[in-house]
Amino acid sequence: MPSDRRRLIWRALLVVAVLWAAWATWTALRVKAEAESARRDLREARAELDVESLLEGDALEVLADAADRFAAIEARLDNPLLAPARAAPVVGRQLRAASSQAGAAAEALEAVGDVGAEVVALAEEGLASGPARVDLLRRIAAVAGEGRAVFESLDLGPDRALLGPLRDARAELKEAWAEALDALRRAETAGAGLADLFEGPHDLLVLAANNAQMQNG
């Protein structure tokens, strides 16, 4: 009788293992298809995004949608039921890499969307002059700086011993990350530099007026 019970337990465990393997395989295939679709749509969107679409708000919707899709992919890959697979040396590395890439993409897209929304809000205020213009430029620099900080903290995941699709996806993500980071750095530097430039002459005039008063005195 005990041997029959043990056989029954082993059969039950075998059924569970087979079902888990089938579910894990289905999840991996589904995530792979969703990731490829999200990357393809984002690639097409990047080619069409411009300042006009950003100011009209269309680009912000595209970015938000893409961020949500990558966040959903990360959530599926971080499912606790995949813990046994994540513990495996080879498969685990692929899962961790895919999760990190999806998470980084979601966070980066969300950051770009936040920066875009702030820029749109600032643009709606109109072209300022005098001290207001300096304040606007410093705010633009601050917004770009916040986005830069997010990008600099992103973790793209492991870059070694990756399968072909994950290796290619990481290379594409790294290229887009570098381009966006460079753009944010330039925007931050330009905003701060222009603010100093427009503020400078005013300070020089005040200093010249003070010097003139001292000489006359």
Span 96-113, pLDDT tens digits = 888 999 999 999 889 888
The answer to whether the pTM exceeds 0.85 is no
Residue appearing with tokens 């005195």: 217
Residue 38 CA to residue 31 CA, distance in Å, equals: 10
What pLDDT score was predicted for residue 207? Answer: 43
What pLDDT score was predicted for residue 58? Answer: 67
What pLDDT score was predicted for residue 23? Answer: 67
What pLDDT score was predicted for residue 103? Answer: 92
Residue 24 CA to residue 147 CA, distance in Å, equals: 36
Q: How does DSSP assign the chain, residue by residue?
A: -HHHHHHHHHHHHHHHHHHHHHHHHHHHHHHHHHHHHHHHHHHHHHHH--HHHHHHTHHHHHHHHHHHHHHHHHHHHT-GGGHHHHHSHHHHHHHHHHHHHHHHHHHHHHHHHHHHHHHHHHHHT----THHHHHHHHHHHHHHHHHHHHHHT------SS--HHHHHHHHHHHHHHHHHHHHHHHHHHHHHHHHHHHHHHHHHHHHHHHHHHHHH-
What pLDDT score was predicted for residue 206? Answer: 47
What pLDDT score was predicted for residue 52? Answer: 61
Reference 116, options 181, 51, 173; nearest CA is: 51
* Displacement of CA 207 from its chain's centroid (Å): 45
What pLDDT score was predicted for residue 150? Answer: 92
pLDDT under 50 in the chain at which residues? 1, 203-209, 212, 214, 217
